[in-house]
Structure 1
């Protein structure tokens, strides 16, 4: 139920209750009757304190209280995952409101600290109060990131930023820590509930003792581990001269060697040659701590610090449920992979996400050359692994088949030709009987279609695959994937290409292949186009085949405007009769007659209103509309859309989807109807 429907229902309920009371007591004034209704309706309002001196929550059993705590932790984790932030609302507060809020928070913090100080029975080295140091550091880093983008004239705002830091400190503390501050009973319940302490977020500024305490409190419950070794937005090397970068690289290599010597068992016969050198362990390292060339170490883990993090979590490898690691420099990932190579089977691991964020374009060979070593995590054994992501990170793919052959979702991205899996190995990975989603972004089986045919290789049949994403491939390689990956039950497709002409690839999408009577597009229910440069006629042919499509996601910039234009012209020219759901009055076919939901970036609220209204008149109304919050949407259009579709919302488009996203929006009214003679024939 949306807010509009809720308001209507509330008004109806109040009127009904008011009529009943006035009928039963004719002498009662409408004002008194309304007051009685209000009191009755607010009796169970959770935001109104209960009457009496006893709080009902204190009567709850420990098991139910623990469940409430777990729910709070889950909600907080979801908010972090989707990037929810209340900063945008802060500007709405007046100075008076801010003073009152600050005063209230100061009292609250004092009370919590007094309660928590009396927790001497907790003999762990790290205490919950130490978490405030973590929160202060994160606030400091966030504040610095913002200040780097401002001019030096903003120095006068430093005092106010410090005040904001103190005001928001308490909200930075994790939910499980906050509830453990309330009273002895809550603290006891929280600490004895292992599920509250299983999420470990490692980033610079957090105390390792804190994570050790979390692991101890989690007992034997599986752990979700996130490690951030990425540079902040303001930490860039672009302005540094090549000589300095080379010197820093040599220093980091030596630091990496030192960490490997301390942590790697060289007697392991399965260990490949590190640094592509059989005598790697004799290479010179640091005789003293490595020098600091910049202040970057203040913002993300050094290699040595990262090694210390691994020392904390690796002894618990059999307890891992999820491991997600992001790095900006492959040396950090190299250390991780070398350590994972000597780990035993990850018996409870369900999710493995390894990200190397690098701006360098992928070529034929991997760089830097001395870090090309292929490792085999967990000796190739992770029996419960279902979800894998490898961005710019390669393994010994064949030796790792033991834990890759049963995955449900796999995301392969940014692999140079030499570190991609062979076609045969790739086939084993994707032919997992449970595979549902496959994402290939500038990655896939090594070789070319000619190589595959010369080797007598057959197309890969993926009957279980429901979702496929293809991004950044060359047109020829993308076409080869279509001809060698058979997806008869595909329901969702995401395409993201740019720069080159993908008309031939788009035409292949419209063809029936592998002996079937319908094309891949004909079976789609969800289609997302972030970028697909192709001819206008091909776009219309693609839309013509999407008869069963229910959800469409379009970036309406650049070539994406062709899709938007074709959809609108098809709809606005159609009959208002509901029976004409597949053809228009002018004889043109109505595209996507089953469409229920659209998500767009690059059109205005007025244009979306026109589209929604046209679909409604054509007898094929939309149920859900999502628009980019960066687009021009006036209040009246937003209100109209909320009233005319079941669900309307705004979203924040990711940076990856906005590379071609500019300030100029599409004007559907500028499109001119073209003669059929002006559209090139698109005959196979």
Structure 2
């Protein structure tokens, strides 16, 4: 080779990050405690999604190419390698497994994306692996897929590596959406008929909980998703054992049961109807509670005295397992810091006319619950009578965000109630200043379904003078919700509604209509700054280009089946809707 060419080649490779340096790698001179801190920062950045799509794709490609190459990492935990979704291997695995099982579990199909950050850095070299394994904060997230099974060696390893730090647990027992076997469960307590082969068995889930419950004092959060209530029953039973003294560090409890109920009046599994007392009733640091189709003892201390509770979500509870009005009042009054309340086909049992007789005693009982800290309210899938009763019983002086999702009825009277004087805890004297409506204080409004008259839409918009962000799912709304956003030149009508509006999110709105709306509001001197459209809407490339040029922010979002979810923060609306890295074998 020509010497000059060889010299140029060596020069070009001098600072190439993909060519290892000769001799000792300089980064190995970094003290282990500093390298550990770098890993922690990197893990947080990776979790927050700071890496770009291009970097993610490049990393995945690089990992796929490198997979199988020889390095100084031991072939350990071959048992857990057979799991389709894995995030970590153990330190002392079974090395007697045959080579076929290893090669089968390491097929290219399992490397569709880069592995979790902690796994990636622990496979760079022996030095990094040692530092990573001895950095407990990297191993505190335990995510278990429906395809995993006993003996859960990976979970044991994570529990060990996390030392005494708080752990975040996610257990997914739901089979894939395209599972043709179904997910219903029935039969005796010990049998598993009709259970999908793509879902964790009940006995395996019981084994998993027996590993996790001894560490319940470390639980920082737990999320469980099931499509068969018997799975949830196993979890509830495990965390209700009399030997459990409490969950002192638990801040988030999210239990989701996704199963179509045949009746809204009666729970579908009478033999599993027990209302459990979880964690011995003690979880003093709980900040977020979500119970979807999952009922508990509504009087236990962490619910009735939730002094730190900020977010409460109750959804899809049949009438026979809902809290009574007295229990519901106890929950709300016991949470003075509550900021978000979501009631989707759930809430206090009975009709509003029953609540007053049950709710209190004494001549001074007004039947009104004042939630001074509540800023976000979500109401979905209730009858007009039920919604009206709730609004009369709740005083919400700090409300800033409202989400509504109703169908199959006429909610014109509800709109009038929202636009009328808001409920107060203390009666207002006649000579005092006129009470403001609940709508007048809103800054964010999401409407996914609200059957009402066009006149009531005008009434609503008239009260929304302070609204900054509006989210409309036009698939289920009268056209007036969108039409009234256009400037109007008709004599006798308001020229522009919602003059403070800067952010608009829509579903089922064509691109040409959005373009015209943005143009007209800009010409009228009340421009929109940010627009987000559902990704399946008909929008041409020319529309996209024009909108990006005439808005500070334009982006698409992925529609959700759970339309009653609260409106996310404005700055989060345009973030990538894809989930985090799929877990893979390391």
Residue 74 of structure 1 pairs with residue 11 of structure 2? no
Deviation at 1:296? 1.8
CA distance in 2 between partners of 1:541 and 1:47 (Å): 63
User: Which runs of 5 or more residues in structure 1 are unaligned?
Assistant: 1-44, 91-96, 119-125, 139-161, 256-289, 575-583, 659-684
Residue 324 of structure 1 pairs with residue 223 of structure 2? yes
CA distance in 2 between partners of 1:133 and 1:618 (Å): 62
Tell me the residue number matched to 1:229. Answer: 173
More displaced, 420-429 or 162-171?
Answer: 162-171
What's the CA shift string for 1:251-301, capped at 9, x where partnerless? xx331xxxxxxxxxxxxxxxxxxxxxxxxxxxxxxxxxx5x756722x111
CA distance in 1 between partners of 2:453 and 2:402 (Å): 20
What's the CA shift string for 1:587-623, capped at 9, x where partnerless? 4242111111111111122221111111111111111
2:71 to 114, 117, 120: 114
1:449 to 318, 340, 352: 352
* Mapped contact 2:186–2:194 kept (Cα < 8 A): no
Residue 529 of structure 1 pairs with residue 447 of structure 2? yes
| Closer/same/farther in 2, CA of residues 51 and 378 from structure 1, 3 Å limit | closer
Deviation at 1:466? 0.2
What's the CA shift string for 1:116-165, capped at 9, x where partnerless? 128xxxxxxx64x6664334799xxxxxxxxxxxxxxxxxxxxxxx9996
Tell me the residue number matched to 1:259. Answer: none
2:326 to 399, 419, 424: 424
Deviation at 1:560? 4.5
| Closer/same/farther in 2, CA of residues 444 and 69 from structure 1, 3 Å limit | same
Deviation at 1:105? 5.2
| Closer/same/farther in 2, CA of residues 56 and 554 from structure 1, 3 Å limit | farther
Q: Secondary structure at the match of 2:67?
A: helix
Tell me the residue number matched to 1:296. Answer: 196
Deviation at 1:341? 1.4
CA distance in 2 between partners of 1:638 and 1:53 (Å): 53
* Mapped contact 1:449–1:477 kept (Cα < 8 A): yes
CA distance in 2 between partners of 1:504 and 1:609 (Å): 33
Q: How does 1:206-605 map to 2 (within 5 A)?
A: 206=148, 208-236=152-180, 249-250=186-187, 253-255=188-190, 290=191, 296-297=196-197, 299-342=198-241, 343-400=244-301, 401=303, 404-431=306-333, 432-455=335-358, 457=360, 458-514=367-423, 515=428, 517-568=435-486, 571=487, 573=488, 587-605=493-511
| Closer/same/farther in 2, CA of residues 456 and 337 from structure 1, 3 Å limit | closer
| Closer/same/farther in 2, CA of residues 76 and 314 from structure 1, 3 Å limit | same
Q: How many residues align?
A: 512
User: Which runs of 5 or more residues in structure 2 are unaligned?
Assistant: 1-14, 88-103, 361-366, 429-433, 565-586
CA distance in 2 between partners of 1:302 and 1:167 (Å): 25
* Mapped contact 1:554–1:560 kept (Cα < 8 A): no
CA distance in 1 between partners of 2:42 and 2:22 (Å): 27
Tell me the residue number matched to 1:647. Answer: 553
| Closer/same/farther in 2, CA of residues 106 and 408 from structure 1, 3 Å limit | closer
CA distance in 2 between partners of 1:393 and 1:85 (Å): 37
Residue 187 of structure 1 pairs with residue 102 of structure 2? no
CA distance in 1 between partners of 2:511 and 2:34 (Å): 46
CA distance in 2 between partners of 1:616 and 1:361 (Å): 49
What's the CA shift string for 1:328-356, capped at 9, x where partnerless? 11111112212211222100000000111
Q: Secondary structure at the match of 2:113?
A: helix
CA distance in 2 between partners of 1:443 and 1:599 (Å): 27
CA distance in 2 between partners of 1:293 and 1:467 (Å): 42
CA distance in 1 between partners of 2:298 and 2:199 (Å): 30
Q: Secondary structure at the match of 1:508?
A: helix
Tell me the residue number matched to 1:32. Answer: none
1:166 to 108, 117, 136: 108
Q: Which has the higher contact order (CA 8 A, sep 6+)?
A: 2
Q: Secondary structure at the match of 2:212?
A: helix
Q: Secondary structure at the match of 1:67?
A: helix
Q: Secondary structure at the match of 1:649?
A: strand
* Mapped contact 1:472–1:498 kept (Cα < 8 A): yes
More displaced, 398-407 or 610-619?
Answer: 398-407
Residue 134 of structure 1 pairs with residue 43 of structure 2? no
CA distance in 2 between partners of 1:130 and 1:643 (Å): 54
Q: Secondary structure at the match of 2:73?
A: helix
* Mapped contact 2:439–2:463 kept (Cα < 8 A): yes
* Mapped contact 2:381–2:406 kept (Cα < 8 A): yes
Q: Secondary structure at the match of 1:249?
A: coil
More displaced, 359-368 or 311-320?
Answer: 359-368
What's the CA shift string for 1:168-219, capped at 9, x where partnerless? 5273532211211111111011101111100001123346101100110000
Deviation at 1:501? 1.2
Residue 638 of structure 1 pairs with residue 544 of structure 2? yes
Deviation at 1:639? 1.3
CA distance in 1 between partners of 2:235 and 2:305 (Å): 18
Deviation at 1:388? 0.2
CA distance in 2 between partners of 1:62 and 1:585 (Å): 74
Tell me the residue number matched to 1:33. Answer: none
CA distance in 1 between partners of 2:533 and 2:222 (Å): 33
CA distance in 1 between partners of 2:515 and 2:36 (Å): 47
Deviation at 1:657? 3.5
Give me the TM-score of the superposition, normalised by structure 1: 0.69
* Mapped contact 2:84–2:110 kept (Cα < 8 A): no
Deviation at 1:58? 4.1
Deviation at 1:417? 1.7
What's the CA shift string for 1:384-411, capped at 9, x where partnerless? 1110000011111113435645411000
CA distance in 1 between partners of 2:343 and 2:281 (Å): 22
Q: Secondary structure at the match of 2:209?
A: helix
CA distance in 2 between partners of 1:612 and 1:198 (Å): 46
Give me the TM-score of the superposition, normalised by structure 2: 0.80
* Mapped contact 2:377–2:401 kept (Cα < 8 A): yes
| Closer/same/farther in 2, CA of residues 189 and 164 from structure 1, 3 Å limit | closer
* Mapped contact 2:372–2:398 kept (Cα < 8 A): yes
Higher helix share goes to which structure?
Answer: 1
More displaced, 641-650 or 591-600?
Answer: 641-650
